[in-house]
Each structure stands twice: as structure tokens, then as C-alpha cells.
């Protein structure tokens, strides 16, 4: 429940297993964004329990939040790349912030960019920007990737390619939680679907 009294989620009870690929669907205002914010600890639950891996988010100390976030990668609808940076530097940025060693940064960034097929590009379309954003999410060896409407700003062909790439990562053991309103993609990829409606 938000401070203004809005109840975004109520009596939601679910479990996402390690290694699952889950679509979160629902109309605007159904609570999808709040659901993701709770998982990322951008919001705290008014009541109840949220566990992500070994972390109890309802009882988490502030100093533990960076440790939680290092276990996950996040891909947003609006890419959130830094325009003046190269593809390489955008992907390396988060690792530099946490003080990773240059050799480790080089190895992980190279691997991530090769995985998404973006190693040599500099001028990027929307779909290519999203693949760079996905590479950035991969560099911390995330156990969990949260994808918040990752296909919202790209064309249908590239949308399919992005979800196909997420599927490949899932087959390698990464847990994927993807919010989407694109029912064609949900039908095309046979994965578990969680539907939120009016916060429950």
C-alpha cells in the first residue's frame, strides 16, 4: 500500500523457481510495476514476506541492498543507455561502479557482447540498443534477469529476437521474470504466465 492509500498489490502469493522463465501480464494499473519494484527492493512490502534467493527483502538491512542487486540484471523498456558512451563502455559501466578489476571487466563485457551479437556495432537501432542493455545485465553473472517491458519500444521482429535471446539465457540456467503486454510473444514462447488483475 502506497503512502497515498493506493493498494497496488493485495494477497499475492506465488513462487518462482530457480531456472524458470515467467511472463507477468495484466492491464495497466494491475500491479506489475510494483511487483518488480518489490523484487528489486525499490519498494518495501507493507506486510508479508518476499524472498529472492537467500535474501529476505522485508527484513533486509540497507547495507545488504547492493548485495541483492548484484545477483540480478535488469532490462528496461527505455534501454537506459548513456548516449555519449560507446557500446563497450555502456556495458562495462556497472562493473566499474562496483570497482571490478579491469581484466575481469574486459572478460565479462567481451563475453556478454558476443552472446548478444553486438560486439562490433556503434550506431544502434532501438532493437540493437535493447540487446546492449541485455548485455549490460549479463555482466554481473546474474542469477535472475528482470525484464520490464523490454520489447515495448522495438519492432515485432526484434521483439521476437530479444525474447529468443532471453530464452537462450534461461536454458543456460538464468531465471527470467519478464513483464509484457504483448500477448503474441507470450503465445509464441511456451512459458509460465502469471496474470495480475487489480493488484491480486
Residue 96 confidence class, pLDDT cut points 50, 70, 90:
confident
- For residue 177, name the pLDDT band (cuts at 50, 70, 90): very high
Would strands 55-56 and 51-52 be described as parallel, antiparallel, or unpaired?
antiparallel
Q: How far apart are CA 118 and CA 83, in angstroms?
A: 16
Residue-wise pLDDT for 125-175, tens only, equals: 777 777 777 777 777 778 899 998 888 877 888 888 889 889 988 998 999
The separation between CA 69 and the C-alpha centre of its own chain, rounded to angstroms, equals 11
Q: Record the pTM.
A: 0.79
* SS3 call for 75: strand
Quote the crossing angle between the two packed helices 87-97 and 102-115, to the nearest 10°: 130
For 33, the grid coordinates are 510495476
Position with higher pLDDT, 133 vs 53: 53
Report the chain's terminal Cα–Cα distance, integer Å.
13
More confident residue, 120 or 153: 153
Q: Reply yes or no on whether the pLDDT at 118 is more than 70.
A: no
Confidence of residue 76 (pLDDT cuts 50, 70, 90): confident
Q: Grid coordinates 546474474 are at which residue?
A: 142
Residues 9-34: tens digit of each pLDDT: 998 999 999 999 999 998 888 899 89
Averaged pLDDT score across all residues of the chain = 85
Which is higher by pLDDT, 119 or 114?
114
Nearest CA to 189 out of 136, 147, 137 is that of 147
Amino acid at each position: 500500500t502506497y503512502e497515498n492509500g493506493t493498494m497496488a498489490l493485495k494477497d499475492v502469493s506465488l513462487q518462482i523457481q530457480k531456472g524458470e522463465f515467467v511472463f507477468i501480464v495484466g492491464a495497466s494499473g494491475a500491479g506489475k510495476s510494483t511487483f518488480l519494484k518489490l523484487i528489486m527492493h525499490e519498494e518495501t512490502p507493507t506486510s508479508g514476506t518476499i524472498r529472492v534467493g537467500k535474501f529476505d527483502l522485508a527484513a533486509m538491512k540497507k547495507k545488504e541492498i547492493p548485495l541483492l542487486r548484484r545477483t540480478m540484471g535488469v532490462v528496461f523498456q527505455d534501454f537506459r543507455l548513456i548516449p555519449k558512451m560507446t557500446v563497450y563502455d555502456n556495458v562495462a559501466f556497472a562493473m566499474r561502479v562496483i570497482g571490478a578489476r579491469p581484466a575481469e571487466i574486459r572478460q565479462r563485457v567481451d563475453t556478454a557482447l558476443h552472446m548478444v551479437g553486438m560486439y562490433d556495432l556503434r550506431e544502434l537501432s532501438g532493437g540493437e540498443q535493447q540487446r546492449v542493455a541485455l548485455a549490460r545485465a549479463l555482466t554481473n553473472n546474474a542469477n535472475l534477469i528482470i525484464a520490464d517491458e523490454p520489447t515495448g519500444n522495438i519492432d515485432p521482429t526484434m521483439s521476437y529476437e530479444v525474447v529468443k535471446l532471453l530464452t537462450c539465457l534461461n536454458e543456460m540456467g538464468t531465471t527470467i521474470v519478464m513483464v509484457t503486454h504483448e500477448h503474441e510473444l507470450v503465445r509464441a514462447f511456451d512459458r509460465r504466465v502469471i496474470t495480475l488483475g487489480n493488484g491480486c
